[in-house]
Amino acid sequence: MSSRDGRSQFRSRKGTIKSVIYKRVLVLSLCSASLLGCHSRQDALTAVAESHIEANIPPHELFDQLLARDLKNYFCRDGKDCKIEYEFLRDGPTQSGTSYPKYYLWVKTIKGNTVAEEGAVRVAAVERKGFEVTHFLPRAQISQSSSQVASVFPAALVDKINQKAGNR
């Protein structure tokens, strides 16, 4: 074997070693970048959701006043001796995609001294100006068909809503 052949084999091995090292570095870099990329995408989605919540939920000092107003407008259409009581079924808003943030409530409509109607309500916070009732399931409807609850409300709230309606 000539010295030239020895040098070319040496260069060939050296090139192979560099190639293997380069490939390993490349693979590790791509793996790291993909992990960071996923994390960055998640952060971006969280930031979008938070900005959407902030853009739609009324200011803290007006929140209860606007919610009570909008619930009363929905449930007390005749307005005569009617008041609303409500409790949150979940703390804080639920944000899904780019829809309006949602709140889940149990609402009682009281006319005179009598509970006229009660049930589970989903409301959407809209442009910091108020709330829109998107769904209302009265207690009687929940008792007759508790499966409807799961089609409107988050799974984590289904048992709680059924219990409030008297279903066990």
Query: Which residue, chain included where needed, has tokens 């959701």?
Result: 49
Q: What average pLDDT does the chain have? A: 79
d(CA 49, CA 94): 10
Per-residue confidence (pLDDT) for residue 95, from 0 to 100: 82
Can you give the residue ranges of every domain in the chain?
Answer: 60-164
Select the more confidently predicted residue: 148 or 122: 122
- The 10 Å Cβ neighbour count of residue 13 is 10
* Phi, psi torsion values for 163, nearest 5 degrees: -65, -45
**Residue 107 near residue 119, CB atoms below 8 Å:** yes
d(CA 106, CA 100): 19
pLDDT in tens, 10-20: 444 555 455 54
- Three-state DSSP at 158 gives helix
pTM of the model: 0.71
Select the more confidently predicted residue: 53 or 127: 127
